[in-house]
Amino acid sequence: MLTFAYDTIDFSDDRRRARALPNGRMPPGRFGAGWLLRLCLLQPERLSFERTETVLQSGRPFVYPLELTRASLAGFLTGPLTLASDVPPAVLEAARRGRAVILVWLGDTVAPLDLDAAGTIWLFDYVRHFMVEHELPGRAVWLVTGTVTAFEAFDDWLKGRWLFVPEAPQLHAMTVFPTFAQATYHANRRGWDVSVAHDPVYGVMTLATVPVAADTPRAHLVDDADRAAEQAGAALRRWRFSCLNDGTEPHRQIVISYLQASGYLDDCLARFGAAPIDLNDGCGFAVPGAEPLQETLRRGWLALHPKLPLELAGDAPHRDSYVAIASADSFDGLPCVDDRLLSPILDRQPFLWVGPPDSLRYLRSLGFKTFGRVIDERYDANDRFGARMMRVLGQIEGLARRPKAALRDLYFECLPEIEHNHAHLVEGRHQLDVMLRTLEIRLGTS
């Protein structure tokens, strides 16, 4: 069993509740504490947490997490060169002796690892300086990033700094979200979840296992009995689409405005927050040759705006729609496989992904399947914003024009992919699982 050590942590005797400050309090605001501690509470049979002082006294091997936040990346260039200035000397000594691994975590974040506009200063530089400063071997410091393309950047950095691999931190680039989704799914099935509360003033994270109603997972997710009953009957689902946005970025505004303008929003389980009328230039879409579409989008936005915010009616289950229109925070940038893309997989739905290019290709590389048999997924190819967005809207239009009975048929046609994806997500072995297993072997705790 892996043990994660925290310098300042209080917890209940049954370890179902914990309050912790981040490791690495200096520089202020650089680190958080929540992701790994949450996973410990979700998987108590596999992971544990303890006070740093206690594990040092016991001599047990441990992992010492330094959890960076996305917001902290911008502050590196104006702060000290050191990564963390207050790691206990005994932790550093344990890492030198191979009894601890210092885990620099950015696993929940997809972001470029070059920190300046010129691309000459990297997060790797700060981690490497930390290693040299404290005479730590590369095997003692692991860097986990959600930027799945980081290996190419890492190779360029090694060549630019004239370093050998053993002189650098061990890099692990992956999506961590399948492991968290799987752990949460099984916890929910057993009747509990983990709540997380953050005190922004003092930086304290409070996590606790909390009960969920026994019928909550079943109310939201399609199980085998639901599917068999639906396939045997003739009833149609209430909505064609679900389009649940947790932001008001341009690509999300374009999709929801298109649904409104085309008359499809009333047949969609939708969420979109309150926003000013001039948001993103009133739903601007300045693509040469697409002037008619621009007018359609502006008309849709003007008609939609008085209805905002769009909220779910009651506890509407996602499974009452046929196709999910899922979206990331960005439509450009690096491939992203996060909880929003995994949600329709858990819900047993086919999906369109309004997110960065090559995300579906990366999803397939992880052992999942997408729906290229029935949906033109060329929108996933790397191209200009406007060209990709028009392909997305074209697929929405094509699906929306089908009679609802035809969408029902499409859903059942997609069952091989749907069932494969669900089983792989909730029972498969994912990248973070492999990394944690490697950590166990490295520390001799397996």
pLDDT one-digit tens code per residue, 292-336: 999 999 999 999 999 999 998 655 566 789 999 999 999 999 999
Contact 128, 171 (CB under 8 A): no
Q: Which H/E stretch holds residue 63?
A: strand 62-68
pLDDT tops 70 at residue 83: yes
385 is a domain residue = yes
Instruction: Indicate if 263 and 407 belong to the same structural domain.
Output: yes
Give the whole-number percent of the chain exceeding pLDDT 70: 97
Q: Looking at mean pLDDT, say which of 63-77, 226-240, 416-430 comes out highest.
A: 416-430
Instruction: Indicate if 257 and 396 belong to the same structural domain.
Output: yes
pLDDT tops 70 at residue 48: yes
Domain coverage including residue 283: 216-413
Backbone angles phi, psi at 339, to 5 degrees: -65, -25
Give which of 144, 105, 16 is closest to 435, Cα–Cα: 144
60 is a domain residue = yes
Distance CA 42, CA 187 (A): 7
Which is more confident, 79 or 420? 420
- Given this model, what pLDDT does residue 219 score? 57
Question: Residue 196 — very low, low, confident or very high, per pLDDT cuts 50/70/90?
Answer: very high
Overall number of domains in the chain = 2
Helix axes 431-443, 177-189, angle to 10 degrees: 90
Instruction: Indicate if 229 and 333 belong to the same structural domain.
Output: yes
421 is a domain residue = no
Instruction: Indicate if 190 and 270 belong to the same structural domain.
Output: no
Give which of 421, 237, 429 is closest to 345, Cα–Cα: 421
Distance CA 28, CA 24 (A): 8
Question: Residue 119 — very low, low, confident or very high, per pLDDT cuts 50/70/90?
Answer: confident
Q: Kindly state the average pLDDT of the residues 52-78.
A: 91
User: With the C-alpha atoms ordered 414, 420, 426, 431, is the resulting torsion angle positive or negative?
Assistant: negative
Instruction: Indicate if 16 and 145 belong to the same structural domain.
Output: yes
Instruction: Indicate if 202 and 223 belong to the same structural domain.
Output: no
424 is a domain residue = no
Question: Residue 446 — very low, low, confident or very high, per pLDDT cuts 50/70/90?
Answer: confident
Residue 436 tokens, joined: 């944690």
Q: Which residue has the tokens 């008619």?
A: 292
Distance CA 445, CA 443 (A): 6
Q: Kindly state the average pLDDT of the residues 213-222.
A: 64
Distance CA 365, CA 340 (A): 18
- Given this model, what pLDDT does residue 214 score? 65
Distance CA 300, CA 306 (A): 11
CATH number for the domain including 330? 3.40.50
Question: Residue 106 — very low, low, confident or very high, per pLDDT cuts 50/70/90?
Answer: very high
Q: Is 240 left (phi over 0), alpha (psi -120 to 50) or beta?
A: alpha
418 is a domain residue = no
pLDDT tops 60 at residue 6: yes
Q: Which H/E stretch holds residue 256?
A: helix 250-261
Distance CA 344, CA 43 (A): 23
Distance CA 351, CA 179 (A): 20
Contact 22, 9 (CB under 8 A): no
Question: Residue 274 — very low, low, confident or very high, per pLDDT cuts 50/70/90?
Answer: very high
Distance CA 41, CA 48 (A): 8
- Given this model, what pLDDT does residue 304 score? 97
Q: Is 167 exposed, middle or buried (0-12, 13-18, 19+ CB in 10 A)?
A: middle
Instruction: Indicate if 102 and 20 belong to the same structural domain.
Output: yes
pLDDT tops 80 at residue 17: yes
Residue 18 tokens, joined: 């914990």
pLDDT tops 90 at residue 184: yes
Which is more confident, 32 or 361? 361
Q: Is 285 exposed, middle or buried (0-12, 13-18, 19+ CB in 10 A)?
A: buried
The two beta strands, 351-354 and 31-32, are unpaired
Q: Kindly state the average pLDDT of the residues 93-106.
A: 96
In 273-403, alpha helices (H)? 280-283, 291-304, 339-346, 359-365, 385-400
Q: Which residue has the tokens 């905002």?
A: 308
340 is a domain residue = yes
- Given this model, what pLDDT does residue 25 score? 74
Distance CA 137, CA 287 (A): 52
- Given this model, what pLDDT does residue 234 score? 83
pLDDT tops 80 at residue 62: yes
Q: Kindly state the average pLDDT of the residues 209-226.
A: 73
Instruction: Indicate if 157 and 18 belong to the same structural domain.
Output: yes
- Given this model, what pLDDT does residue 42 score? 96
pLDDT tops 90 at residue 352: yes
* 320 C-beta neighbours (distance < 10 Å), count: 13
Instruction: Indicate if 205 and 220 belong to the same structural domain.
Output: no
Q: Kindly state the average pLDDT of the residues 71-95.
A: 88
* 202 C-beta neighbours (distance < 10 Å), count: 7
Instruction: Indicate if 372 and 301 belong to the same structural domain.
Output: yes
Instruction: Indicate if 100 and 144 belong to the same structural domain.
Output: yes
435 is a domain residue = yes
Question: Residue 232 — very low, low, confident or very high, per pLDDT cuts 50/70/90?
Answer: confident
Q: Give every CB contact of residue 149 below 8 A, 6+ residues apart in sequence.
A: 173, 334, 335
Q: Which residue has the tokens 């009616």?
A: 313
pLDDT tops 80 at residue 41: yes
Q: How far is CA 174 from the centre of its chain?
A: 11
Rounded to two decimals, the pTM is: 0.93
pLDDT tops 70 at residue 216: no
Instruction: Indicate if 169 and 290 belong to the same structural domain.
Output: no
422 is a domain residue = no
Question: Residue 233 — very low, low, confident or very high, per pLDDT cuts 50/70/90?
Answer: confident
